[in-house]
Amino acid sequence: MLSVETAIKKLRSIVPQVKEYETVPLREGVGRTLKRSITAPQHSPPFDNSAMDGYALCGPNRIEPGTRFEVVGESRAGHPYGEQLDEGHACRIFTGAVVPTGTTTVVCQEDVLNGEGNVMVNRECVGMENIRKKGMDATKGMTIASNRDVLSPYSIGWCSAFGLTDIEVVRRIKVAVFSTGDELRDPGQQLQPGQIYESNRTALIALLQSKPVELVDLGQLSDNPDEIKQSLLSIAGEVDLIITSGGVSVGESDFVRPVLEEIGKLEFFSLALKPGKPLAVGTIENALFFGLPGNPVSTIVTYLLFVAPTVDSMSGIPWHRPTHFTAKLTTKISHKSGRREYQRGVFVEDNRELSVATTGDQSSNRLGSFKDCNCLIVVPAHRDDLEDGEMVDILLLPNQRSVY
Ligand code: AMP
Ligand code: MG
């Protein structure tokens, strides 16, 4: 049995990075990896503008309280005052409006008394207050997003502030997903005795939806080695990644691994991992292949640990550990040393301390263990039982309800 670390090391050595690119509308760029750095095509903001609703003043560098200014015009956002401001003059101004040339400072409307055609400042003002200078966010030519950055909603908003409409990104990773098993039916079909509804393919497709992938849902394969072989061979030349679930153990109906060995290359199999011991990873032609274990919890856990970072890595995102924290265990965990275990857990924050409990029966067929689950609790391979009160590592689950 391979340790999780060794398996990840082996996997990383065979994961290729996609070097083909496409141009997409900026608004569709979230989660995509940039082909090259983006530099600011102009200053942002493109002109000096007011940070407040108030008055642009033209006066000495230090203006005493009680000084009056004649109001000669108005500058609204999108409607500049086109004239030069002269000594002793003020211009009504609003947030985001162009600061007229000649302005020496902007005073907030709360800091003036309005008179007939004039304003009197009622506190001392110094030069260039309340003015957002041209280029204060970024100057023309500055790097606003770097080569291989993954675009976030924030960086996309920023790119939009420079008027960008399209971006060049790594093309989507093509992923084919199969489930295997004679007992499986899709929801909507009638179940016959001994049959169950399939859930792995559905969960995998839902998980992959947050990744930059082009998905091919290839449905179910029966436990028939010829059918599995033909199906895998017919798709291998078309995609970057093939994922199957089930049929990968050592039972008499488990044909996925022998087929992989026949038509491709098996890199590793059998991990010191719970759930997810029978995981077959290899290649078929140029496609990476993941034969995930069939038990639904094992499918999801091995997806999170191995497939998700692989998809990221193929898209150019550096391999990274999932976001993790330390939390105090509030339930005992029964465990026998030998395999690293990832139990489903629910953590809460209480008085700045994280505490975590398991979500009940942790059998690998129990999708119910994901109910209310917001993290995976890591049980080290070398440990036996973990006691209530111990500090443990927890990995955040992706797609959790946002805190905002
Ligand atoms: P296997 O690895 O094929 O022996 O499957 C292990 C267990 O997972 C069996 O109980 C299967 O019925 C179940 N299983 C396999 N694939 C799926 C699937 N796509 N959806 C739900 N359960 C599955
Ligand atoms: Mg099966």
Are 187 and 268 contained in the same domain? Answer: yes
Are 215 and 278 contained in the same domain? Answer: yes
Mutate to test the pocket of ligand 1, among 245, 253, 298, 367 (most ligand atoms within 8 A of CB): 245
Torsion of CA 261, 267, 272, 274, to 10 degrees: -70
Q: Which of 115, 150, 170 is the last residue of a domain?
A: 170
Are 231 and 368 contained in the same domain? Answer: no
Is 402 inside a domain boundary? no
Per-position b or e across 147-171, b if 16+ CB within 10 A of its CB: ebbbbeeebbebbeebebeebebbb
Query: How far from 340 is each of 158, 290, 329, 344, 348, CA to CA, in Å?
Result: 42, 20, 17, 13, 23
Question: Is the CB of residue 266 less than 8 Å from the CB of residue 257?
Answer: yes
Over residues 166-171, the mean pLDDT reads 98
Residue nearest to atom 5 of ligand 1 (CA): 294
Q: Could you give phi then psi for residue 156, rounded to 5 degrees?
A: -70, -40
Are 212 and 338 contained in the same domain? Answer: no
Are 224 and 296 contained in the same domain? Answer: yes
Tell the burial category of 20 from Cβ atoms under 10 Å away from its Cβ (0-12, 13-18, 19+).
exposed
Residue, of 322 and 383, whose pLDDT is higher: 383
Q: How far is the CA of 214 from the centre of ligand 2 (A)?
A: 26
Is 360 inside a domain boundary? yes
Q: Which of 132, 155, 181 is the last residue of a domain?
A: 132
Residue 364 maps to which CATH number? 2.40.340.10
Owner of token pair 């940070």: 51
Over residues 239-264, the mean pLDDT reads 96
> From the alpha carbon of 183, which atom of ligand 1 is closest?
12
Q: Which pLDDT does position 398 carry in this prediction?
A: 83
Is 301 inside a domain boundary? yes
Residue nearest to atom 20 of ligand 1 (CA): 198
Are 356 and 310 contained in the same domain? Answer: no
This prediction's pTM: 0.93
Mutate to test the pocket of ligand 1, among 184, 189, 252, 301 (most ligand atoms within 8 A of CB): 184
Q: How far is the CA of 168 from the centre of ligand 1 (A)?
A: 40
Residue nearest to atom 15 of ligand 1 (CA): 294
Residues facing residue 71 across a β-bridge: 90
Domain that holds residue 27: 21-44+138-170
Are 187 and 162 contained in the same domain? Answer: no
pLDDT of 402 > 80? The answer is no
Mutate to test the pocket of ligand 1, among 295, 299, 303 (most ligand atoms within 8 A of CB): 295
Question: Is the CB of residue 218 less than 8 Å from the CB of residue 150?
Answer: no
Q: How many whole angstroms separate alpha carbon 288 and alpha carbon 166?
A: 30
Over residues 122-149, the mean pLDDT reads 97
Are 118 and 189 contained in the same domain? Answer: no
Q: Which pLDDT does position 403 carry in this prediction?
A: 61
pLDDT of 401 > 80? The answer is no
Q: What mean pLDDT value characterizes the chain? A: 96
Q: Which of 267, 293, 314 is the last residue of a domain?
A: 314
Tell me: the pLDDT tens digits for 28-41?
Answer: 999 999 999 999 99
Is 161 inside a domain boundary? yes
Q: How many whole angstroms separate alpha carbon 330 and alpha carbon 308?
A: 29
What confidence category does residue 176 fall into, taking pLDDT thresholds of 50, 70 and 90?
A: very high
What confidence category does residue 350 fall into, taking pLDDT thresholds of 50, 70 and 90?
A: confident
Residue 182 maps to which CATH number? 3.40.980.10
Q: How many whole angstroms separate alpha carbon 46 and alpha carbon 27?
A: 22
Q: How many whole angstroms separate alpha carbon 381 and alpha carbon 262?
A: 32
Ligand at shortest distance from the CA of 294:
1
Report the share of the chain in percent with pLDDT over 70: 99
Is 122 inside a domain boundary? yes
Over residues 12-26, the mean pLDDT reads 97
Mutate to test the pocket of ligand 1, among 177, 183, 363 (most ligand atoms within 8 A of CB): 183
Is 319 inside a domain boundary? no
Is 271 inside a domain boundary? yes
pLDDT of 105 > 60? The answer is yes
What confidence category does residue 321 fall into, taking pLDDT thresholds of 50, 70 and 90?
A: confident
The length of the chain, given as a count of residues: 404
Are 98 and 229 contained in the same domain? Answer: no
Query: How far from 294 is each of 56, 249, 266, CA to CA, in Å?
Result: 69, 8, 18
Q: Which pLDDT does position 154 carry in this prediction?
A: 97
Question: Is the CB of residue 330 less than 8 Å from the CB of residue 305?
Answer: no
Residue nearest to atom 17 of ligand 1 (CA): 294
Name the domain count of the chain: 4
Residue nearest to atom 14 of ligand 1 (CA): 294
Residue nearest to atom 7 of ligand 1 (CA): 295
> From the alpha carbon of 278, which atom of ligand 1 is closest?
2
Are 125 and 14 contained in the same domain? Answer: no
pLDDT of 400 > 70? The answer is no
Pocket of ligand 1 (CB under 6 A): 179, 181, 183-184, 196, 198-201, 245-249, 251, 293-296, 365
Please provide the DSSP assignment of 57-72 as one string: E---SEE-TT-EEEEE
> From the alpha carbon of 179, which atom of ligand 1 is closest?
19
Are 109 and 157 contained in the same domain? Answer: no
Q: How many whole angstroms separate alpha carbon 15 and alpha carbon 180?
A: 24
Residue 153 maps to which CATH number? 3.90.105.10
Over residues 371-381, the mean pLDDT reads 96
Q: How far is the CA of 390 from the centre of ligand 1 (A)?
A: 34
Over residues 81-97, the mean pLDDT reads 98
Q: Which pLDDT does position 351 carry in this prediction?
A: 87
Over residues 161-178, the mean pLDDT reads 98
HSE toward the beta carbon, residue 248, CA cutoff 13 A: 31
Are 277 and 220 contained in the same domain? Answer: yes
Is 345 inside a domain boundary? yes
Q: How far is the CA of 398 from the centre of ligand 1 (A)?
A: 23
Q: How many whole angstroms separate alpha carbon 232 and alpha carbon 264?
A: 10
Tell me: the pLDDT tens digits for 297-319?
Answer: 999 999 999 999 999 999 999 99
Q: How far is the CA of 359 from the centre of ligand 2 (A)?
A: 26
Q: How far is the CA of 373 from the centre of ligand 1 (A)?
A: 21
Residue 53 maps to which CATH number? 2.170.190.11
